[in-house]
Structure 1
Amino acid sequence: MTRSDPVAEPFPDNTDALLALGHALREAGYNFTTVTPATHAIVNARSQNAEARNLRDVVGWSRPFRAEILPAPLLALMREAGAVVEEDGLLRPTVRFSSLDDELFAHSSYPPSATDAVFFGPDTMRFVGAVLAHLAARKTPVRRAVDLGCGSGAAGICIAKRSPGAEVVLVDINPAALRAARVNARLAGTDGIEARHSDMLRDVEGTFDLIVSNPPFMVDPAARAYRHGGGPLGAGLPLAVVEQAIERLAPGGSLVMFTGAAIVDGADPFRDAVAEACGRAGLDWTYREFDPDEYGEELANAVYADVERLALVVVTVARP
């Protein structure tokens, strides 16, 4: 093992201490924009970044550090939360905090290699942007919403901030994600949020005015919860989200989904499947390519031998 190849640690389970850490970071004026893992690896590999020099290096860039670079109260909170481990004579953070929508969100440290890692990155920001654009254009208030496969809970929390009195449910099958989402909801001071363990919506009752989701769409050999979409070329979970929306949207309700699609010989099988499912159910839908070519490095994997590009897409489904 080397310093560039840390052992994956579980997401901390002392949520009260983690919440206190989040408040302390906010009071310290901390902010950080999380980049892709590929960018993160390049930046951290620079010789001057072998060790952390300040708070952002520790809690944002996940760099190993010496105890003396952090204020003692902050380090004590990290220890109490289980957010730091000792490795190779240095300390290493096991949690990150990222900035979005004037809030801080706790999620897994870099690299997010554990099977239950809590992901947060540029796709999270794109997803939240799509949700906020939908809310701005929406003509009726949201009374009940669900963030399906919530991860850090970012989208659901941003909905709750803009929907006074609404019930917002954060759903995930990953217990680590639910711990993070609960901390983040409390840190944002949002009311009306409940985080619940459920495989899709199996353990959540009722219908929703708004369903939002950023399901994984990769074929991941490690089957990491935040990356592995399952099904044909990773489309299993995204299509399952569409099917859930067909079943659980209230009259006038909408689905907003940010995900990816594998394009094969100029065709988009996922788009075709969405069209078929929505047509069968009599629901309106839109499908927009947000970015025509992302994660190109994944195409070197044998499972994508027939795929020419991976596109990021925004799917909306509406019940009249």
Structure 2
Amino acid sequence: MTRGIRADMTITTPLVALGAALRDSGYRFTTTTPATHERVNRRPGNEVARDVRDVFGWSRPFAPGVLPDHLVALVDAAGLLVTDGDLSRSLVRYSSYDGEIFAHSAFPTTEADAVFFGPDTYRMADAAIAVAEARDRPVRRAVDIGCGTGAGAITIAKRLPGAEVLAVDINPAALRFAQVNTELAGTPNVRPVKSDLLDDVPGMFDLIVTNPPFMIDPVGRTYRDGGPHGHELSLAIVDTAVRRLSPGGTLVLFAGTGITDGTDPFHEALHGHLDGTDLEWGYREMDPDAYGEELDGPAYAHAERIALVLLTADRRVSAAGSGALRPA
């Protein structure tokens, strides 16, 4: 029997209480890309926080009196308050999506085990919602591979309350945040589980969603590094889906790819992993030009642009089965 992650309650409990207090106060924050975040924080007057959004959204240092004492106490109780002279800083951020609030790592996300939430999270979760709502077959089991904050799993669970939804990750910090966010969202059918892809969980799945790391990251940060070409981890997830999708099951994979001389290497590689299987698949660019700042570095010196892409793959239902597949 697979067991869910046992969260450290000394961290989880105050972060749930902090998130609930922020949500109840009307807090809202849309998290940007790291490049945008840095630009906004560089503007004159943004050196230190003036309010709660500055502290828990923009990750700015704050002086005494900026936050109510009970919020400071909760960050401190979670062990995520850093003080340097007269200024303090929260090592946790909170972002808004789909009417919920999600805890994740503070900016800058430079630690190897940082848990990222940003524009790609919104895009992936939106795509997962669209597929989940369009399916004409029931979903009994679903999984968010490389769940990070658990946003994908939580988004699905809200719309499929009768399904068992696993949120799997190899990063203990991600699983702690996923547990916090599951409690904040009130989705008891989500279970965070430590697993390398699906190696440590049994059974088949009707829906697999994932936003795997897809960048070429020389630093090798867990949430960012997709392998030497950026798509090795995505291909490993595709291979996992080929083995673990139930009949009529669907894979939703949101990723990025460096386009070189007009060629998409991820799309080219997918043919070798999906052609000849019983999965019908579709692929499209969701954004033709993202993360342009990466083109200045050596990792993407070969690329002319970085595109964000969506792969959907459906396992065929046998002639003896019931229902029909939605076109990919």
CA–CA distance in 1 between the matches of 2:133 and 2:199?
A: 30
Aligned match of 2:5? none
Instruction: Provide the identity percentage.
Output: 56
1:89 equivalent to 2:86? Answer yes
1:86 is matched by which residue type in structure 2? Answer: T
1:113 equivalent to 2:110? Answer yes
Structure 1 segment 273-284 matched on structure 2, within 5 A: 273-284=269-280
Structure 1 segment 195-214 matched on structure 2, within 5 A: 195-214=192-211
1:49 is matched by which residue type in structure 2? Answer: N
Do 2:217 and 2:299's aligned partners in 1 also have CA atoms closer than 8 Å? no
Structure 1 residue 50 displacement after superposition: 1.0
Structure 1 segment 49-64 matched on structure 2, within 5 A: 49-64=46-61
Structure 1 residue 261 displacement after superposition: 1.2
Structure 1 residue 149 displacement after superposition: 0.2
Aligned match of 1:234? 230
CA–CA distance in 2 between the matches of 1:65 and 1:88?
A: 11
Structure 1 residue 165 displacement after superposition: 1.6
Q: Provide structure 1 residue ranges, at least 5 long, that are not aligned to the other structure.
A: 1-10
1:248 is matched by which residue type in structure 2? Answer: R
Aligned match of 1:166? 163
2:218 is matched by which residue type in structure 1? Answer: P
Structure 1 segment 97-136 matched on structure 2, within 5 A: 97-136=94-133
Structure 1 residue 305 displacement after superposition: 2.5
Could you say what the CA RMSD is over the residues aligned between the two structures, in angstroms? Answer: 1.4
Once the two structures are superposed, residues 221-240 of structure 1 have per-residue CA deviations (whole angstroms, 9 ceiling, x without a partner) of 11111110004x21111111
Q: Provide structure 2 residue ranges, at least 5 long, that are not aligned to the other structure.
A: 1-7, 317-328
CA–CA distance in 1 between the matches of 2:125 and 2:70?
A: 33
- What SS class does the counterpart of residue 168 from structure 2 fall into? strand
Structure 1 residue 13 displacement after superposition: 6.1
CA–CA distance in 2 between the matches of 1:250 and 1:293?
A: 34
2:99 is matched by which residue type in structure 1? Answer: D
| Structure 2 counterpart of 1:39, from 36, 41, 47 | 36
CA–CA distance in 1 between the matches of 2:132 and 2:162?
A: 15
Structure 1 segment 135-150 matched on structure 2, within 5 A: 135-150=132-147
1:295 equivalent to 2:291? Answer yes
Structure 1 residue 12 displacement after superposition: 10
1:160 is matched by which residue type in structure 2? Answer: A
Structure 1 residue 16 displacement after superposition: 0.8
1:64 is matched by which residue type in structure 2? Answer: P
Aligned match of 1:7? none
CA–CA distance in 2 between the matches of 1:220 and 1:146?
A: 26
The number of aligned residues is 309
1:24 equivalent to 2:21? Answer yes
CA–CA distance in 2 between the matches of 1:287 and 1:51?
A: 43
Q: Identify the range of structure 1 (221-230 vs 273-282) with the bigger mean alpha-carbon deviation.
A: 273-282
CA–CA distance in 2 between the matches of 1:228 and 1:86?
A: 31
2:257 is matched by which residue type in structure 1? Answer: A
2:29 is matched by which residue type in structure 1? Answer: F
Return the TM-score normalized by structure 2. 0.92
Do 1:96 and 1:106's aligned partners in 2 also have CA atoms closer than 8 Å? yes
2:275 is matched by which residue type in structure 1? Answer: G
Structure 1 residue 275 displacement after superposition: 2.2
Q: Identify the range of structure 1 (298-307 vs 60-69) with the bigger mean alpha-carbon deviation.
A: 298-307
| Structure 1 counterpart of 2:243, from 247, 270, 274 | 247
Once the two structures are superposed, residues 183-232 of structure 1 have per-residue CA deviations (whole angstroms, 9 ceiling, x without a partner) of 0001100021111111111101111000000011111111111110004x
CA–CA distance in 2 between the matches of 1:25 and 1:12?
A: 19
Return the TM-score normalized by structure 1. 0.94
CA–CA distance in 2 between the matches of 1:23 and 1:296?
A: 36
| Structure 2 counterpart of 1:193, from 164, 178, 190 | 190
- What SS class does the counterpart of residue 256 from structure 2 fall into? strand
2:12 is matched by which residue type in structure 1? Answer: T
Aligned match of 1:79? 76
Do 2:10 and 2:77's aligned partners in 1 also have CA atoms closer than 8 Å? no
Structure 1 residue 300 displacement after superposition: 2.0
Q: Extract structure 1 runs of 4+ deviating beyond 6 A.
A: none
Q: Identify the range of structure 1 (208-217 vs 71-80) with the bigger mean alpha-carbon deviation.
A: 71-80
CA–CA distance in 2 between the matches of 1:237 and 1:274?
A: 12
